[in-house]
Amino acid sequence: MPKKHKPPDITAVLRMQHQFFFGCVGGCCISSMVVMLVVMVMTVEVMVVMVGYTLVHIFTMKTLVLCLLLAGALAAPSRKPTFRRGLNKIVGGQDASPGQFPYQLSFQDISFGFQFHFCGASIYNENWGVCAGHCVQGEDFNNPDYLQVVAGEQDLDVDEGNEQAIVLSKIIQHEDYNGFTISNDISLLQLSSPLTFNSFVGSVGLQSVKEYIGDCVVSGWGTTSEGGSTPSVLQYVDVPTVSDADCRAAYGENDIDDSMICAGLPEGGVDACQGDSGGPMVCGGLLTGIVSWGYGCARPDYPGVYAEVAYFKDWVEANVS
């Protein structure tokens, strides 16, 4: 049975604006700001029809766009892209089967009257999910009843009967989350009612080994190529982790801190991408990374960057107890 998912044209634009003003910060925004703001100008007339903006709002929005374009032109560029959130899947991966990743969550905005997937997350227990800090930036932490997670999800466009959709009751973003450095990029999602665990829905344990070296699996519904379209079926890909030293050599000493872990092949070709943000990287059956950011998607010599779960294990356990 089809789900009430709408093509993310106007929703995507609204979410992009929300991310830009609240979740997109510092140099990591500058590289894509001009493109995004042009989209804002081009779509403002559409928003007039769909959300009732007045002509005054149109004038104000276009004036604001011009101001932001000027600010972007004056700002110093950065190699860091926007977060892997919202519009932009697993690169070089394959379709997952139902129940293959029972800990995977789809994090959705339902305030538009339909379900809009914008981030991934992982099930910690029946009442809590683990996500990226930047996925919740700008949200109402104490009253997030316009956001939900869906467990047991495999195809975003088809109701297969295994899904459990639960609205959030609270969000905890790490108190030291820094949008400029993208450090401490973790958050917790409290559910308004508990999940029912079965063969399609279950939790994943937390990694305790820091700087884990080994093979891992990343899953999500992000774009299947850099700047490409988003698939409806859950994707996954196997990736090896990369040492902190090698990752710092790729991005720079100051861009990779101790709260991050990197994964990917030197030749590129496999990676998480936009729309996978907040989703799991699981190594040896344990949640080891949370999809965070990267330079493009699956580019050679630039591994994907994840929040390192072992670094936050005590923080997670303290906040969900």
pLDDT digits (tens, 9 = 90+) for 272-293: 554 478 999 999 999 999 999 8
Residue 65 has phi, psi (to 5 degrees) of -60, -45
pLDDT at 73: 39
* DSSP reduced 3-state for 180: coil
271 vs 151, higher pLDDT: 151
Percent of the chain with pLDDT over 70: 64
- What residues form DSSP beta bridges with 130? 122, 188
pLDDT band, very low/low/confident/very high, at 298 (cuts 50, 70, 90): low
Average pLDDT over residues 253-262: 94
pLDDT band, very low/low/confident/very high, at 21 (cuts 50, 70, 90): very low
Average pLDDT, the chain: 77
Interatomic CA distance for residues 88 and 118, integer angstroms: 9
CATH homologous superfamily for the domain 102-203: Trypsin-like serine proteases (2.40.10.10)
How are beta strands 164-173 and 147-151 bridged, if at all? antiparallel
Interatomic CA distance for residues 53 and 46, integer angstroms: 9
Interatomic CA distance for residues 118 and 133, integer angstroms: 13
Percent of the chain with pLDDT over 90: 56
pLDDT digits (tens, 9 = 90+) for 116-130: 999 999 999 999 999
Per DSSP, the residues of 77-135 read P-S----S-TT---BT-EEPPTTSSTTEEEEEE-TTSS-EEEEEEEEEETTEEEE-SGG
pLDDT at 301: 79
CATH homologous superfamily for the domain 205-311: Trypsin-like serine proteases (2.40.10.10)
- In this chain, the answer to whether the domains covering 102-203 and 205-311 adopt an identical fold is yes
Q: Which amino acid appears at position 37 of this protein?
A: L
pLDDT digits (tens, 9 = 90+) for 228-245: 455 689 989 889 999 999
Question: Catalytic positions, please?
Answer: 134, 185, 277
* DSSP reduced 3-state for 183: strand
Tell me if 217 sits within 8 A of 238, measured CB to CB.
Answer: yes
pLDDT at 40: 45
Residue 114 has phi, psi (to 5 degrees) of -150, 170
Q: Is pTM beyond 0.85 here? A: no
Residue 146 has phi, psi (to 5 degrees) of -95, 5
- Parse the chain into domains and list their residue ranges: 9-74, 102-203, 205-311
Is the confidence at residue 166, as pLDDT, over 80? Answer: yes
pLDDT at 66: 40
pLDDT digits (tens, 9 = 90+) for 308-320: 999 999 999 999 9
The greatest distance separating any two alpha carbons of the chain, rounded to the nearest whole angstrom, comes to 56
Strands (E), the chain: 94-95, 104-109, 116-125, 128-131, 147-151, 164-173, 187-191, 205-206, 215-220, 235-242, 260-263, 280-283, 286-293, 304-308
Average pLDDT over residues 284-306: 86
Instruction: Judge residue 67's burial from the number of C-beta atoms within 10 Å of its C-beta, 0-12 exposed, 13-18 middle, 19 or more buried.
Output: exposed
pLDDT digits (tens, 9 = 90+) for 202-224: 999 999 999 999 999 999 986 55
